[in-house]
Chains A and B, each alone.
Chain A
Amino acid sequence: MKWLTFTFLTFVLILLLWATSDLPSRANPQSPANVHLSPEFTKLTETEIHVPNIVSAILADFRGYDTLGETFVIFTAGLAVLLVLGSHGRKKKDPRKK
């Protein structure tokens, strides 16, 4: 079973590496992301939002749903730690122990 997993994962690794060779270079100005999205965001930030920081404009306005989800993730993490490590409900058991 271990060797089967190893073979399968090696196959997936080779597949992914093969697919990587097809991706455009990160700094390529002619790649699809840089041709369509970046000029759009740059233009809209200047004309619609009037904010100097394009990164903040994308994070908080264009991708507001994404940031909302990130905030929910952090809040849920705090809630989970609170439920696991918090002392709620344990106080009732303590007198019985003593």
Chain B
Amino acid sequence: MNQPYESTILRFIAKNFLVPLMIVFAVYVLIHGESSPGGGFQAGAIFASAIILVRLIGGNTQTKGLKSLPMPLLIVVASTGLGIYVVTGILAQLFGANYLDYAAIPLQWFNEFAGENRTNRAMGMWIIELGVFLGVASVLVIIFDLLSKDPKND
């Protein structure tokens, strides 16, 4: 995985067609998690596979775009995802309900802002799915990066 593999099929089809499609599909699965099969775990797995595919195509030598996500940033994103989940639960407690009881969090302003009619619980579900998405996607990339790194160039 140190040298990039020169293949027209990989370079053209995967890079220009598959990876953008996977990223868009991951966002679709995340946003439509409440109305169709999907959710944070699935969206995170699809997004991480897109990034891992880029790294498999490019090898370790290229340092641009999605290939060069630094490890500290990934760790921060993973912690942020978990933090969003935990803080949402604590927020519900601050508004006087049980832990992770999203009905108490005042999110009605979003309905007026976006012109939608969603309950607080649906909004809370979406927020924690976003946290799960960030956590799963970055943890999968962290594991792949660490397993595939070259110990000599440490």
List chain A positions with a Cβ less than 8 A from chain B: 48-53, 55-57, 59-61, 64-65, 67-68, 70-72, 74-75, 77-78, 81-82, 85-87, 90-91, 94
Contacts and interface: CB of A to CB of B under 8 A. Distances in A.
A53 B154 contact: no
Interface of B: 33-39, 41, 71, 75, 78-79, 81-82, 85-86, 89, 99-100, 102-103, 118-119, 121-122, 124-125, 128-129, 131-132, 135-136, 138-140, 142-143, 146-147, 149, 154
Interface of B, secondary structure class, is helix
24 contacts: A48-B121, A50-B119, A51-B119, A51-B121, A53-B36, A53-B37, A56-B34, A57-B34, A60-B39, A60-B124, A60-B125, A65-B100, A67-B85, A67-B132, A68-B86, A71-B131, A74-B136, A74-B139, A75-B78, A75-B82, A81-B147, A82-B75, A85-B149, A94-B154
Interface of A, secondary structure class, is helix
A53 B36 CA distance: 6
Contacts of A81: 142-143, 146-147
A92 to B, nearest CB: 12
A22 to B, nearest CB: 33
B135 A53 contact: no
A61 B136 contact: no
